[in-house]
Structure formats: C-alpha cells, structure tokens
Structure 1
Amino acid sequence: MEKTCLIKEPQKKQKLNEEDQDIDENNKCLGDLPEEILRHILSFLPTKDAVRTSLLSKRWEYLWASIPNLDFGRSFPAKRNLLMNFVERVLCLRDSYAIKQFTLSCDVLHDASRVNRWISAVVRHNVQELYIKLDNFKGKFSLPYCLFTCKTLISLHLRMSYILKLPTTICFSNLKTLTIIKVTFSDEYLTQQFFSGLPVLENLCLKNCSWKGLKFVHLSAPKLHSLSITELKWLNLSYGDGCQIMIFALGLKKFDYFGELFNEYCLYKSFSLERAEINVILDNASAQIAHRMYKLLIGLSNVEVLSLSLEVVEALRDAGERLYHMPMFNNLANLVFFEGSTIDLGCVGLLRILHNSPCLKTMKFSWGISLRENDDWKLDPLPPCFLSHLKWIVVRNYDGDKEEFFAMKILLKNAIVLDEIDIYCSERLAGNLEKQVNLCKQLIEIPKGSQNCEIVFLNPWQDVVKQ
C-alpha cells in the first residue's frame, strides 16, 4: 500500500502542475486579446463585476473605465451612499470612449444637481440608449437641457413620479424608441414642442402619465409604427374634462390602449394600421366615456386585426346618436374579445361593430358568448359579413347553459358561409365527459345556415370531438 502511494504521489502533483499551467496559459491568452475585444467581453458583465476585474493585473486596472454599457440599477447594494459614490467614481474615471447604454435607478432625495451632472456626463459621451428611473424627490428637479437635444440618443426610457420640466428647444433627431412612465406634463406649449420634436420615432409607450391641467396636445411622429398607452385609476386621476390628445402618425401599424379613458385619444388618418388592442376597464359607463370610446374607434377604422374588452362594447350603449354614426371597418378581418367576461351577442355596441365590418373573416370570444334575450330573438338586420365573409368562429369557456346555447344557435343559423366553429369547454365542464357529449349532440342538431360548417368541440384535457 505504501509503495502504491509513493508511486501515485508524483503523478498527482504532475496533474496539478499541468492544470495550473493550463490556467496560466488561458489567462495569458485572454490577456493577449486586443483591448477592444476585452471591453466587449466586459460589457456583458454587471458594472460592479466589470470594475472588480481591475484586480487581475496592471493591464486590467482601468480597462473597465471604457466599457460601452454601464448599469447602476437594482443589482447594487441597498445602501444609497455606496451606490451614489460608486456612480461618481465610475463617471469621473471614464475615458473618452462613447457610452452605448446607461442605466440609472436611484432615489434622488436632495441630490438633484448630482444626478443631473451624471446624466450630462453621459450625454457628452454620446450615449445611445438611456434608461432612467428616479424616485423620492425632496426638492425641485429638472433633467439637464442637453438631454433634450442629444443627437446620438436612439432609445430613451424615463420613469419618474414628477413633473417633467421641459426646455424651449427640443429635438431628438435620432430617437427611435421612447418610453415615459409616471411622468406629469404640465405646460401645454412645451409639451406640444416635446411631442413635435420626434422626427424618426418608431416606438412610443406612455404609461400612467398625467396631463395635469392640459386641454389639448398634438402628438406628431411621421415614422411612428407602434404606440402603447396605459392609464389606470391608482394615479388618483379623475374622468373630468380630460385632455384631448391628437395623434398624427400616418405610418402607425400597431396601437394598444389599456386603462380607464381618463382622456380623449384621436388617431388622425391612420391608414396603415394593422393591429389594435383596446382593453378598457370601467367601474361605471357614462355618456362621456362613450364619447371617448367613439372618438377612439373612429381612428381605428382602417385596422385589420382588432382586440376588444367587454367594456368597450358596453360603453357604447351610452353613445346615443353617435352609435348610428360609427365608422365603417372595411379592412377588419379578425375580431377578438379578451378573456375576463362573457360577451352578450345582443349588445348594441357589438352588433353595430359587426354591421360595420363587411369583410370580417374570423371572430374569437376568449371568455365565451351568451344571449340574454328571449329564445325567439332574431339577428335582424343580418350583418353583411355573415352572408359573405365570416368563415371561422372560436368560442372559449363554453359551459352549455341556456344563454350560451341561444347565442350558439344564432351564430350557426345566420353565418351562411361559415366553415368552422371551434368550441372550447369550460374548466368546470372539463371533467364531465357525459355532459360534453350531450352538449356536442345539441350543437350538431342546431339548423345551420352553412351546410359546410364543421363543429369542433374541444377539451384541453381530452381529445377533440368533431361533427
């Protein structure tokens, strides 16, 4: 045993020496790489880890100071002073290399001038992507004016629960993506200037912003492709008179709205619009909300794919005479209703949209459909799409109750060119195979306007049942 041990000992040392040699050679190979490649490698590390590489060797001591991406976000220690001093040190030691991406998330408190110096320094280093999240203001604050004329900025993400103080000169000549969260706009003229200085903007997101006291805003972005707006009640906003926001974006392809219609949004000549999602959440409908919904739908008249929440069609019940002046949706091919609530087929808002969508090909009811009218209720007059274009209907969360069956009966009887209707059973019905079979038989026995229509009864947990 001892002899065996004596024989193996040198082999083990030799192996360790070989591993050490491999590590040294790898370090040497890494150290021999050009600085441009090393900086690129360091850019994938969190900023604090990139700084730690200064301990590796003399060559690495200040290499981190020229990395293109700097991130001072949530990954830093909770102690605010450590973060503030660290940001200060990194920017002070920064060389002349440009900053591609800069992220800052911190509490401002009484250090407004200090934060402004950092942002100004980043702008001087030709920043391309800027992500700013500022909280807890303890005094006056305004972003540095040089930010609003930054020629190198391509993407700006600004989140701060504070009034945005704007300069008189604003021009983002290369800005393509803009996200603004929780910002308050208070000056009508300067806000107008801000949203008119975006000549190449392609993506705009406005989330929970407040248009404090503003009556009218004109948003002009000729190259805008995607616009997303969110406004929720937790901001302590009120319906009131609201702000009228005119959106001039002739190239707009996608529009999303999620909120409570505190303001009036008007899309002007959005001829190229392909997709729109309108998810309205309301406690109570009113004539004012119906008017805002009506104005919004006018701007969506050229859309091809439209997704709506239940509240959209319900709000239109209070539209009065406007309901009979709804726009024609001549390009609308796909109509989708979000999950959350069952859609009443007899709702006047839904019927008006169907009547004004002559080329509608598919309908999807993500949370089911019902008919609260009597069994002898008729779909009269018949929407033109039922006679010529409607080929496919999807109904989810089907439970088979009386009101749901009435709705299915109306659809099957009147959709003359329907090819297929897919019916997904509800979760409550999923475990009752006998009831599923009976419901499927009931649906098959319904007189159908289209002899080619195939009824597909689907259970996510079982096999598909076809007619």
Structure 2
Amino acid sequence: MGVVTRAQAKRGKSQPLDGEETAPRGGRGVGGADLISLLPDEILGSIISFLPTEDGARTQILSSRWRHLWRSAPLNLDASGIGGRVTVEVVSRILSEHQGVARRFSVGPSILLDDYPSLTLDGWLRSPTLDNLHELDITLSPLIVSIPRFALRFSSTLRVAKFNCCQIPNDCHHSPPDHFPNLQGLVLQNVTISEVSLHVMLSSCPALNSLTLDCSAGFSQFRINSPQLKHVKMNFCDSDIDRLPELIVENAPCLERLYHHGPQEDNMHIAIISAPKLKILGSLTDNISRLQLGTTVFKGLHDVRMDTEMRTVKVLALRLSSLRLNVTINLMRCFPCIEELYIEVTIFPWLFSLEYFLLSIIIAILF
C-alpha cells in the first residue's frame, strides 16, 4: 500500500480516474459539443417561450442553429411597454412576422398612449398569430373604458385571463353556454361588471379553478355555483361603491379557500351553504349582520352557537373591531378542527393585551 501525501491528494481531487469522463460544463460535452443545441426544435421552442419577450428575441443571435427558433416558438409577448423598449411598431411587427402559435399576450396602458389606442388594441387582437391564445392579460387606461370585443374571441382556448382597469359590457351575458370551456384562472381587478354578467361569465367557466375579484364593482351579490372552483379571493376598498353586501356559497363541492376583505363597516350577509371541502376561511368580521353556516342562520358573529359544525376548516381568520372572548370561543367551537387562528383587532389593539393573554390560555387548553 503506497503512501499519498497531502499535496498529491489535493491534486488528485481535480483529476479524473482512469476511464472516467469529466462532466460537461456550460451545456457543452466532451470536445466542446453544445448539448443544448442538439435538442429538438420543439423542446428549444418551448424553453424560449418561457423567457421574457426581449430575452426570447435575443436568442436569435446565439448561432445559426437558434436563428429561426424564436420566430416559430410559442409566442410569449409582453406588450406592457416596460422601459420603453417595446413600442407599438415592435408589437405590430412581431404579430405580423411570427410563424408560431401564441401562448401569452400581455398589454398595458403605457404602450397604448397614442392617438387611437382602441384601434391599435383591436388590430392586435385580430391578428391570426393570437388565434390559439392560452393566457391574456389586459390592463387598460381611462382612454379605453370598455374591454375590446375582440378580446372575447379567444374564449374557447384561454386558460388564464386577467382584466384590469376596464368595464365588461353588459350584453356579454348573451354569450352561449361553456363560452370559456378551458378557463382555469380568472382575475378581475378594478373592473366594472354587472351582477348578471358576472354570474353568467362564471357559469360559462366549467373548468374554473381560481377566481380573484380585486377592487371591482357593479354587483351587490356574489353567488358561487361552480363544480371545479377551489380558490376564491375577494378584496374590496373602503367605499360605498366598491363593496360586496352579500356573499353566498351555494354549491361549491371543490372549494378549499375562501377569503374576503372589505370595509370594516361593510354590514354584509355571508352564507356558506355547501362547501364540503372548505379548509381556509377569512376574514370574518364582527360587523357581519347575517351569517349562515349550512342550514343554520346567525344574526352576526355574536349569535354563533354550536348548532352546526364545519369540521373541514383548518385555518380561520377574524377581523374584529374589539376582541370579544365569547365571540371567539363560540367560533372556535363552531370550527372544532381549526389548526391556525388569525385575529386582527382594528381599534386600539394594545388595549386588549389582557384579553389576548386569556385567549392564548384558552386556545392552549382547547388544543
């Protein structure tokens, strides 16, 4: 058995054993071969489609092998005009020359500040390149009040849609059933939409998985009837116009997360009639004038009793003007399987340090 010095051992770590090949670095194999470029065009095109628009276009200068790929790869076009690099002319040229299908199209108000913004957007949305669009993200400006009708032509192919700072036409409820058969995610942010149009739109999304309503208005009641919907998030501002007086979960067999945040003085009605898989619920306020859980109706949180139990709920969020131990304890009994409890006190929370201390002791005893 030979003796190996420390210097020899250190040098040996960087030397491969007999018959062992060194691992390729930087995507290049033995002899400097570019292994990434050996991948099929379909795989390389899919990789390019996940890059930002500018980065995807830059791949054309890598080599002659990559020169044609971006023009035929699934298009991920961000026309938000960030940094002033993506102009109206650039977007129009990309849409006219691109040879592949479109995966995502995003447009923001900064790029539409020309003399005729609605005509520019309509022209883009008519492009055959966007025929099979999967993701659509439109943020409009005060210059364009209503969402362009050509945005609805992608309804049969869309998977994700986000509409921001616009108005949904009231006559969209004349759309046929299953108008958005493949839509899985929908975000309505700063959107004005009538109650009828909202409910018809949702009923036309049988595959909808996630819904976000953020600072939107035009409806006084939101009724959830969806076979696949799992996540619902609602956020309303502190104004009389932007608020939700009534929320009804009528039939949501897959609903797991239901979150509502509105004005503290909203005085709303909440009814959770059928949500057998609901795990996260919040935030309930002590200004709720009517709360229905299953078939049991309570006159606000102070009236909650153990007439019914929702054992599926694991996370509960409360937003109270003052900490009331009886209200909190009754809710904990109504949701006996909660694992996480969040309480936000909106008025002078430092006055309730003793109540917090007592509540922490009670929670420790119960759990």
With the length of structure 2 as denominator, give the TM-score of the two structures. 0.70
Between the aligned partners of 2:295 and 2:80, the Cα distance in structure 1 is 39
Relative to structure 1, is the Cα distance of residues 121 and 419 closer, same or farther in structure 2, using a 3 angstrom cutoff?
same
Alignment-derived partner of residue 278 in structure 2: 273
- Which ranges of structure 2 fall in alignment gaps of 5 or more residues? 1-27
Between the aligned partners of 1:88 and 1:148, the Cα distance in structure 2 is 19
Name the structure, 1 or 2, with higher relative contact order (CA <8 Å, separation 6+). Answer: 2
Aligned partner (choices 304, 327, 341) of residue 349 of structure 1 = 327
**Do the aligned residues in 1 keep the contact of 2:141 with 2:166 (CA within 8 Å)?**
no
The AA in structure 2 aligned to 1:331 is R
Alignment-derived partner of residue 202 in structure 2: 195
Aligned partner (choices 103, 106, 116) of residue 103 of structure 1 = 106
**Do the aligned residues in 1 keep the contact of 2:246 with 2:269 (CA within 8 Å)?**
yes
Percent identical across equivalent pairs?
19
Q: Does 1:85 align with 2:89?
A: yes
Alignment-derived partner of residue 381 in structure 1: none
Q: How big is the shift at 1:89?
A: 0.9
Superposed CA deviations along residues 270-301 of structure 1, whole A, max 9, x for unmatched, are 22322222165xxxx7xxx432xx33x52698
- Note the 1:128-277 alignment, pairs <5 A: 128-132=134-138, 134-145=139-150, 147=152, 150-159=155-164, 161-165=165-169, 167=172, 168-170=174-176, 171-186=179-194, 188-211=195-218, 214-216=219-221, 218-233=223-238, 237=241, 244-247=246-249, 248-260=251-263, 261=266, 264-277=269-282
Superposed CA deviations along residues 327-365 of structure 1, whole A, max 9, x for unmatched, are 6224267565569998342xx4324424545x4576746
Between the aligned partners of 1:57 and 1:229, the Cα distance in structure 2 is 48
Alignment partner of 2:127: what SS? helix
- Which ranges of structure 1 fall in alignment gaps of 5 or more residues? 1-21, 302-312, 318-322, 369-396, 421-467
Between the aligned partners of 1:350 and 1:157, the Cα distance in structure 2 is 37
Between the aligned partners of 1:75 and 1:102, the Cα distance in structure 2 is 12
Alignment partner of 2:166: what SS? coil
Relative to structure 1, is the Cα distance of residues 243 and 74 closer, same or farther in structure 2, using a 3 angstrom cutoff?
same
Relative to structure 1, is the Cα distance of residues 152 and 270 closer, same or farther in structure 2, using a 3 angstrom cutoff?
same
**Do the aligned residues in 2 keep the contact of 1:120 with 1:144 (CA within 8 Å)?**
no
Alignment partner of 2:46: what SS? helix
Between the aligned partners of 1:219 and 1:365, the Cα distance in structure 2 is 25
Between the aligned partners of 2:322 and 2:356, the Cα distance in structure 1 is 9
**Do the aligned residues in 1 keep the contact of 2:270 with 2:288 (CA within 8 Å)?**
no
Q: Does 1:290 align with 2:288?
A: yes
The AA in structure 2 aligned to 1:194 is M
The AA in structure 2 aligned to 1:144 is R
Q: How big is the shift at 1:40?
A: 2.8
Between the aligned partners of 1:223 and 1:361, the Cα distance in structure 2 is 24
Q: Does 1:119 align with 2:122?
A: no
Alignment-derived partner of residue 457 in structure 1: none
The AA in structure 2 aligned to 1:183 is V
Alignment partner of 1:131: what SS? strand
The AA in structure 1 aligned to 2:254 is G
**Do the aligned residues in 2 keep the contact of 1:120 with 1:147 (CA within 8 Å)?**
no
Aligned partner (choices 41, 46, 51) of residue 45 of structure 1 = 51
**What is the aligned-residue RMSD (CA, Å)?**
4.2
The AA in structure 1 aligned to 2:275 is S
**Do the aligned residues in 2 keep the contact of 1:177 with 1:204 (CA within 8 Å)?**
yes
Q: How big is the shift at 1:38?
A: 3.1
With the length of structure 1 as denominator, give the TM-score of the two structures. 0.57
Q: How big is the shift at 1:90?
A: 0.7
Q: How big is the shift at 1:401?
A: 6.8
Between the aligned partners of 2:276 and 2:154, the Cα distance in structure 1 is 31
Relative to structure 1, is the Cα distance of residues 115 and 408 closer, same or farther in structure 2, using a 3 angstrom cutoff?
closer
The AA in structure 1 aligned to 2:328 is L
Q: Does 1:331 align with 2:335?
A: no
The AA in structure 1 aligned to 2:88 is M
The AA in structure 2 aligned to 1:290 is I
Superposed CA deviations along residues 67-104 of structure 1, whole A, max 9, x for unmatched, are 2241315573237xx52221111111121x32223333
Alignment partner of 2:234: what SS? strand
The size of the alignment, in residue pairs, is 324
Q: How big is the shift at 1:246?
A: 3.9
Between the aligned partners of 2:53 and 2:311, the Cα distance in structure 1 is 49
**Do the aligned residues in 2 keep the contact of 1:77 with 1:83 (CA within 8 Å)?**
no
Q: How big is the shift at 1:173?
A: 0.7
